[in-house]
Amino acid sequence: MEQEIVQAVRALILSLMQILALLIAQVVVKFGFLLLHQDKMLNCGDDGTSDVSNDIFENRGSGNSACVEAQVVSHNNISSSQRYLVYNGEIYYCRQAGETSSPYSFVTGINPGSSIGSWKCGFDGKWRGGSVIGIRGGRIKIVA
């Protein structure tokens, strides 16, 4: 009887150790991903060289920020020049009327009049919009 109890306790301890190992593995994977994301954003910045690899790069993923013009730009926001929009870690360039490409091959060029999320690319090559303001009652006149 005593030996059966010892075997049952050992089996229980072994099962708990396996569960603990799986939980630790999941935490390590998630923590490693967060460190990778954080390290990548820490490298965002103008180092004064002609190499722009740390001045502008995407960081694709739901709600992710990206590095644009040597600054971290969060999801659903525009760069200081208003030419670049970061949406889910992807960078979108607002083209001026007549422009046919974006400055970087990995950046998606958007034509004037097109929208991404709540942002609209203007004919002057700058993003307009952002958060929507709810207006209750009254009339609105839109002047172009």
pTM, whole model, 2 decimals?
A: 0.61
pLDDT digits (tens, 9 = 90+) for 112-127: 999 999 999 999 999 9
> 65: burial class by Cβ within 10 Å (0-12, 13-18, 19+)?
buried
Summarize the confidence of residues 128-136 as an average pLDDT: 64
> What pLDDT sits at residue 137?
61
- The half-sphere exposure of 55 on its side-chain side, counting CA atoms within 13 A, is 10
Residue 28: pLDDT over 90: no
Q: Can you give the residue ranges of every domain in the chain?
A: 1-42, 66-129
The pLDDT tens digits for 43-86 are 777 666 666 656 788 888 898 899 898 888 999 999 999 999 99
pLDDT of residue 104: 87
Whether 90 and 115 have beta carbons less than 8 Å apart is answered as no
Q: What is the mean pLDDT of the chain?
A: 78
